[in-house]
Amino acid sequence: MSGIGSTGADGLNRDGDLALSEQRGLAAWLPRRLAEERASIVVVGDFMLDGWWSGSIDRMCREAPAPVVDIQRRDFAPGGAANTAMNLAALGASVSVAGVVGTDDAGVELRRQLAAAGVDTILLYEHPDLVTTTKIRISSGGQVLLRFDDSTATVPPDALATLATAVPAAVKHRDAVVICDYGMGILDGKVRTRLIESLAGRSQDTLVVVDAHDPRPWARLGPDLVTPNAQEAAKLLDVRLGNGPERAATVVRHGGRLLQETGANAVVVTLDRDGTVLIPATGNTHRTWARPATEKQASGAGDTFVAALTLARAASLPLTASLDLAQAAADVVVHHPGTSVCGTDELSRYLESFADTALSADELERHIRAHRGDGQRVVLTNGCFDVLHRGHTRYLNQAKQLGDILVVALNSDDSVRRLKGPGRPINSVADRAAVIAALSCVDYVTVFDTPTPIPLIEQLRPEIYAKGGDYTPEMLAETEAVETYGGRVIILDYVPERSTTAMVQRIRNGEGAPIPEA
């Protein structure tokens, strides 16, 4: 792997803390820095073509009680493994693909679009007896009415033999290998065996990501990451995950089994509107929260997520930071109709949009009133959050899980100076607000200038007031204000080895990340 996350000079130290020099303008910097790495990534798997046909309905069919759709527009986009490759290319990776398609019109169009995006298709073989998998949606007035799929029931054996022969060269000297197995037969038998053999002795510099409907057959590979969705995880575990936010808690409870069944170093379960859950073999679980669009006929956000996650990890970005970046990329494409990709510039603009997002207390109160009308619970926490580090992100993730809506109240610049001295804050409140707002676990950011957040608490009346550190509720001046209206004060984990003050001092002294003790 390349080294965006391995040195402080690149803006991130080995523990994933954001360096001082990169907190300002971070949103614009990170996707472009990832693109500059030009990571070499190969996508192996099931390639398909998505069709989005739309038209008007003015009459019913004479032969049956069915509407007649007069098709007025036909759009096609690479889907499945091809969509993952397209997203990787759009984010700046050097991408090649390995798979098999037909010689039909769909196969020709798929190869054309991949090549136009700069994807190397030399190892995307054509076979005359194979029907290129297509998934065509018919819609009218923005509503999908029908989808019809076309594919080959049995993959020709000689097609599999050709692909299996190409596998060792395809995966050699890559920063990352993405295996997209949607159960269409392309990765069965010889191809899977050859992939496992070719990657068995891989160096630590080669990241292996498995995105499969059933990741269990790939357990012998020992992948670095597997990325099942909610339905796939439920099937693997033979449990019902349900449809609400409790799905994440269920995934965490069964985390050990997920790791055991998949043989992976980390499992990331994607939960569509509920974000994602990370289950690592070592370390803490981590959540991301989606910012879903309403009534958008979007498809392929999972492919975008896998692509961004792979690229970030291939560049050695810390895993939790990679997840947040991948969630942001997925949030971008769910606001697009059809099957689409998230590119470097668009991801940068999306992250930049979080600048100047701090709301006034009155604006925030109006939003909270609407959330309470939907039965949602509000969590409020506060702090300076001057130089973001892993202790902060862990704490904010914990706070989010206490309720439904997380509000972060930032100390104003003057307030920070009163608390920390004339040399602080390092970053202005506008920059601090932009960085905090970009975290998927944070719903709203506001700023307060009073000695304590008590006036804000009394106005917003959050169901839960969360505080991190070596406090007890009795030590906090805010406790009485919270308990007066029936709220709860909850103290979250204290991370003693994570100190903003110590980090600032290290940077000012020109020191790097501390070396862990043996």
Active-site residue set: 303
Cβ-Cβ contacts under 8 Å for 416 (sequence gap 6 or more): 384, 386, 424, 425
> Cα–chain-centroid distance for residue 450?
36
The C-alpha atoms of residue 305 and residue 322 are separated, in whole angstroms, by: 10
Q: Per-residue b/e over 126-149, b at no fewer than 16 CB within 10 Å?
A: bbeebbbbbbbbbbbeeeeeeeee
Both structure tokens of 394: 């862990």
In total, the chain counts a number of residues equal to: 518
**Cis, peptide link before residue 425, omega less than 30° from 0:** yes
> CA–CA distance from 279 to each of 35, 207, 219, 373, 393 (Å)?
27, 17, 16, 33, 16
**Encoded tokens for 336:** 């697009």
Determine the longest span between alpha carbons in the chain, in angstroms.
81
Distances (CA, A) of 51 to 293, 474, 501: 21, 61, 54
Q: Which amino acid is at 483?
A: E
Of the candidates 383, 415, 373, 401, the residue with the CA atom closest to the CA atom of residue 490: 401
- In terms of Cβ atoms closer than 10 Å to its own Cβ (0-12, 13-18, 19+), residue 177 is buried
SS (H, E, C) 131-171: CCEEEEEEEECCEEEEEEEECCCCCCHHHHHHHHHHHHHHH
Residues 158 and 57: their CA atoms lie apart, in Å, by 45
The 10 Å CB-count burial string (b at 16+, else e) for 456-486 is bbeebbbbbbbbbeeeebeebebbebbeeee
Residue with tokens 């001046």: 477
- The 3-state DSSP class for residue 263 equals coil
**To which residue do tokens 């700069």 refer?**
118
Query: Can you tell me the distance from the alpha carbon of 225 to that of 258, in angstroms, rounded to the nearest whole number?
Result: 12
Calpha distance 322→327 (Å, rounded): 9
**Residue 95 pairs with which residues in a beta bridge?**
41
